[in-house]
């Protein structure tokens, strides 16, 4: 029963994240105007916005004008619900779960905006950083010094790569790496970036082999940083312990 509640909470949150993903790059308010059809401008009723179910019931079309909606709206809702369930199963019912939920929500917004616009918005990163600091002050998981070292190591490493590669790393990625350091400290920041490069490298090879992208096509790195951070915050301690056991 609790898993169902977490899933429903997740898909409802995913509906809100869809609003953020669409509106924030357009400099629109995420609270006003209320949700409406982008074609006919008709304000949507509550039964038009039931996560996933409304999309399936209306067959992905506006009830009023018949305009088609992208299936990704429902997919983001489903993804959020599944990730929240994953977080709950891994972390359990605890204060830490709230931290992981908030982090996951930010990562979904950053990932899809970067995928759509090849842009990681400063206004999202500012709130991301503020949220990380506040949560770590309330939950004594990451100390102030660790947060500072995390920000310096994350942002500094990607800045160094950007300088060496002469622009091979975007400014948004550098700021994202610095901000995530405030969430997890320097050790998990380094693990996150290692995983991001690993996942990004494998994914890049696959999309080239499958002819989805060419060798010179731009592939946003933000989603890979987000994936690395999600894995790190859930399994970072286990991964670090396993690695040290192999080395020592």
pLDDT digits (tens, 9 = 90+) for 207-241: 888 777 777 777 889 999 999 999 999 999 888 88
Q: DSSP letters along 160-212, please?
A: HHHHHHTSSS-HHHHHHHHHHHHHHHHHHHHHHHHHHHHHHHHHHHHHHHTTS
The β-bridge partners of 68 are 61
pLDDT of residue 213: 74
Reported as type and span, the H/E element at residue 223 is: helix 222-247
**Top-confidence residue, 5 or 244:** 5
22, burial (CB in 10 Å: exposed 0-12, middle 13-18, buried 19+) = middle
Positive or negative: CA dihedral 173, 174, 176, 177 = positive
pLDDT of residue 141: 81
pLDDT digits (tens, 9 = 90+) for 105-156: 999 999 999 999 999 999 999 999 999 999 999 988 888 999 999 999 999 9
* pLDDT level of residue 90 (50, 70, 90 thresholds): very high
């Amino acid at each position: 029963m609790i898993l169902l509640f977490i899933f429903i909470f997740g898909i409802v949150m995913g509906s809100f994240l869809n609003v953020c993903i669409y509106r924030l790059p357009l400099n629109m308010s995420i609270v006003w105007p209320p949700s409406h059809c982008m074609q006919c401008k008709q304000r949507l009723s509550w039964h038009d916005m039931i996560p996933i179910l409304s999309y399936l019931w209306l067959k992905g079309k506006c009830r009023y004008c018949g305009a088609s909606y992208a299936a990704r709206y429902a997919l983001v809702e489903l993804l959020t619900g599944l990730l929240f369930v994953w977080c709950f199963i891994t972390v359990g019912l605890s204060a830490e779960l709230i931290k992981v939920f908030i982090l996951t929500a930010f990562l979904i917004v950053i990932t899809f905006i970067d995928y759509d616009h090849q842009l990681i918005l400063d206004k999202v990163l500012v709130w991301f950083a503020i949220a990380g600091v506040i949560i770590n002050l309330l939950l004594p998981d990451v100390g102030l010094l660790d947060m500072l070292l995390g920000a310096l190591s994350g942002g500094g490493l990607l800045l160094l790569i950007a300088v060496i590669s002469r622009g091979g790393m975007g400014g948004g990625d550098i700021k994202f790496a610095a901000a995530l350091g405030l969430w997890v400290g320097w050790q998990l920041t380094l693990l996150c970036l290692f995983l991001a490069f690993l996942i990004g490298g494998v994914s890049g090879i696959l999309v080239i082999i499958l002819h989805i992208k060419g060798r010179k096509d731009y592939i946003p790195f933000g989603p890979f940083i987000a994936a690395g951070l999600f894995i790190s915050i859930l399994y970072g301690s286990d991964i670090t312990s396993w690695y040290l056991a192999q080395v020592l």
